[in-house]
Structure 1
Amino acid sequence: MAVIVDAVIRHQSTKNQPDPIHLSAHYLEPSIPGPCEVQIRVQRTGRRYSNITADLYQKGKMNVTTHMVVGTLPDINNLKIDRATPTILPPHPLAARIPFYTHSALSKYSPKPTKLTFRSALELSADPVVSEAQKKKSLGGLIGGFDASTWTELTEEPDKTVRLGLPAVAFLTDLGRNTPGILPKEDRPGESWHPTMSFQVEFKLKLSTLPDYIAPQTFGIWSTGRFIVEGRHELHSEVWTAPSAIGKPGAIAADDPDWRNKMFCVARSSQMALSIPIEVNKRKAKGREGVKL
């Protein structure tokens, strides 16, 4: 998805609607690392928003088809706040706060899933408060559900002061913990992978306008799911800014009681995915059998 978002940003760079606002994607075929082509078509041009399609091809096959709304993302320093175009942000009592309770500076690196082929490019840290609360959820409680909060740091950019862009955020929206993986061990399926069937992302803010105190390459990913039926499940995720790199001091002190009010949600996503035994994926990787969904 990061490749598609990057292609759309390049396509829109000379236009007066430079930013992706919302995308809805359907995955038709598995993609593999390697050359690809993104074909972009303008479907409708509007005053504030326009609609385009962006489809990713590999080896002549359409792997992902995407419908995207483009426009201009808000500048966090110049938001319109009135009744005609309302904005609700902290300290407003009804504004959403970051669903993390442990400052990233106080966090420790967590083990990375061995099946992540790109695990060398990131570091993870699960919020222990959220993890413990998930363990204590009573089965058959009032609303049920499965929650996870993980500080996520991308590590391949050599200049640690460079602020990551929307393509990286699009990548992060797909890193939420899939619902089957949050199940208690006794209910968790065997080793499996979770191919995405459909995926929606909404971008919230222009990243280049974020305050200097925001960590440039660390984000908080909160994910939640409620239903699993024959392995098919939904996953809702939010990508939030972070006050510091994992385990390192930042501009916002770890003992600042107001640090949660100073974070911003930069994107949210929703997807439908499956749960398939890992052996199927391994056979495909060896070229002996394709995946039939």
Structure 2
Amino acid sequence: MSIETSPVTGSGTSSEFDRDTAVALREPGVYDVDLSAGWTIIHAVNGGYLLALLGRALGDHLPHPDPFTVSAHYLTPSVPGPAVIRTETVRTGRTLSTGTASLLQYDEDGNEVERIRVLASYGDLDALTDDVRTSAVPPAFAPIDQCFSAADNPAPAIPGSSAIADRLDLRLDPACVGWALGAPSGKGEMRAWFGLADGREPDPLSLLLAVDALPPTAFELGLKGWTPTVELTVHVRCRPAPGPLRVAITTRNLAGGFLEEDAEVWDGAGRLVAQSRQLARAPRG
């Protein structure tokens, strides 16, 4: 039996990111999606890409357009292929609306398996005031033409992990590539200029990807391997200006087989446009 769907949200552009985060409304609150193999790490789909896809569905479902805060719990690894997103409105206010979303796939018997559950608040970034009082300053970055891209190291850090790298324009700060040379710094830091390989300009949805798109900080602690996210919370602070973003991620505490990653994202205008914290399992390598 065929399923009637509305026109796909996110599919009408030339951007691969927009096409691969497209959602099709099946019925109120329910969206059919297809998880692209182009955003995988080993065999699992990248958590930031999945968060952007869920973020697009919530932006369509809720009355406010932009993610302000998104908290996701990653329950089981997602794999490429069909999936469904179920959304629900929790509360609608004048400036913020809050909703939940779950991404589900199907096991071999056709039963739904929940992959991710999200709680998010949405608003209108264009309605924010210009009042900014901050002590935050952009971290020191090497100029983009002095940084390293994936082409400078054709061997992937994790076997089978190159798919997502082909869709990103990452330029890693030379101070954070010791792991690729067999000499990790031990500092638990990762910094890179971030863009999409097809040249799509940044927006609030791509910020949800950016905070989880760099190599894990665990690599600079001397560990290699998959670093699966357990929980990820992102705060979107303003709409980013055009041009590459600067993403800085730090880990201060690896203990009991888990680590935290704190990320800051700065745009071309020198503004702090997103912040995040995630808890992840440390790689076993």
Alignment match, 2:236: 203
Asked whether the equivalents of residues 201 and 270 of structure 1 are also in contact (C-alpha less than 8 Å), the reply is yes
1:193 is aligned to 2:226: yes
Q: Which protein, 1 or 2, shows the higher relative CO under an 8 Å CA cutoff with sep ≥ 6?
A: 1
Where in structure 2 are the equivalents of 1:147-158 lying within 5 Å?
147-155=189-197, 157=198
SS of the residue aligned with 2:208? helix
SS of the residue aligned with 1:36? strand
Change (3 A) 1:68 1:48: same
Give the counterpart of 1:232 among 234, 248, 258: 258
Alignment match, 1:45: 92
Shift of 1:148: 2.1
SS of the residue aligned with 1:35? strand
Partners of 1:56 and 1:20 in 2: how far apart? 17
| % identical aligned pairs | 25
Partners of 1:111 and 1:219 in 2: how far apart? 21
Change (3 A) 1:7 1:128: same
Alignment match, 2:27: none
Q: Deviations over 1:98-156 (max 9, x none)?
A: 21332324434353744333221123222235669xx998x8xxxxx53221112321x
Partners of 2:247 and 2:281 in 1: how far apart? 20
Asked whether the equivalents of residues 26 and 198 of structure 1 are also in contact (C-alpha less than 8 Å), the reply is yes
Where in structure 2 are the equivalents of 1:115-126 lying within 5 Å?
115=158, 116=161, 117-126=163-172
Change (3 A) 1:136 1:66: closer
Alignment match, 1:91: none
Alignment match, 1:174: 212
SS of the residue aligned with 2:218? helix
> Gapped runs of 5+ residues in structure 2?
1-50, 107-111
Asked whether the equivalents of residues 177 and 220 of structure 2 are also in contact (C-alpha less than 8 Å), the reply is no
Partners of 1:276 and 1:136 in 2: how far apart? 15
Where in structure 2 are the equivalents of 1:49-60 lying within 5 Å?
49-59=96-106, 60=112
Partners of 1:174 and 1:181 in 2: how far apart? 14
Partners of 2:164 and 2:214 in 1: how far apart? 15
1:70 is aligned to 2:110: no
Partners of 2:237 and 2:169 in 1: how far apart? 24
Asked whether the equivalents of residues 85 and 103 of structure 2 are also in contact (C-alpha less than 8 Å), the reply is yes
SS of the residue aligned with 2:81? coil
Query: Normalising to structure 2: TM-score of the pair?
Result: 0.69
SS of the residue aligned with 1:47? coil
Asked whether the equivalents of residues 59 and 122 of structure 2 are also in contact (C-alpha less than 8 Å), the reply is no
- 119-128 or 220-229: which moved more? 119-128
Structural RMSD (CA): 2.6
Q: Deviations over 1:247-286 (max 9, x none)?
A: xxxxxxxxxxxxxxx42222111000002447xxxxxxxx
Asked whether the equivalents of residues 179 and 226 of structure 1 are also in contact (C-alpha less than 8 Å), the reply is no
Partners of 2:145 and 2:122 in 1: how far apart? 35
Partners of 2:220 and 2:275 in 1: how far apart? 19
Partners of 1:103 and 1:241 in 2: how far apart? 14
> Gapped runs of 5+ residues in structure 1?
82-86, 89-93, 140-144, 243-261, 279-293
Shift of 1:175: 2.0
Partners of 1:182 and 1:108 in 2: how far apart? 15
Partners of 1:48 and 1:200 in 2: how far apart? 20
Change (3 A) 1:79 1:104: farther
Query: Normalising to structure 1: TM-score of the pair?
Result: 0.67
Alignment match, 1:270: 277
Change (3 A) 1:80 1:154: closer
